[in-house]
Amino acid sequence: MGFSNKIEIVPGIETTIAVSLMVFKDVRSTTIRKSRRYRECYYCGHPIRKDEKYVNHQFRYDGRIITISFHKECFKK
């Protein structure tokens, strides 16, 4: 039996978040949260309802911190 450093990547929202943090140096944080109020998905424009889980994505742009929200399904696209 030999040593292998092969890492198996399992598709899913957690993998997508981890990869986005490595690829984009200006990403501040990407987390899955439970909405406490009405929000709008940045990708599709549909509502994110109260108590629904969503992806909160923060990044730096032009010296400011921008926060946008996505449905978990839309963030994978």
Question: Would you say residue 18 lies in a domain?
Answer: no
| Host H or E run for residue 54 | strand 53-61
Question: Would you say residue 17 lies in a domain?
Answer: no
Tokens of 65: 């911190």
**What's the average model confidence in pLDDT over 52-69?**
86
Alpha carbon distances (Å) from 67 to 14, 21, 27, 31: 19, 14, 10, 11
Question: Would you say residue 46 lies in a domain?
Answer: yes
Q: Which residue has the higher pLDDT, 8 or 71?
A: 71
**What's the average model confidence in pLDDT over 34-50?**
93
Tokens of 47: 């509502």
Question: Would you say residue 70 lies in a domain?
Answer: yes
State the pTM of this model: 0.63
Of 62, 61, 67, residue with least CA distance to 29: 67
Q: How far apart are CA 7 and CA 51, in angstroms?
A: 34
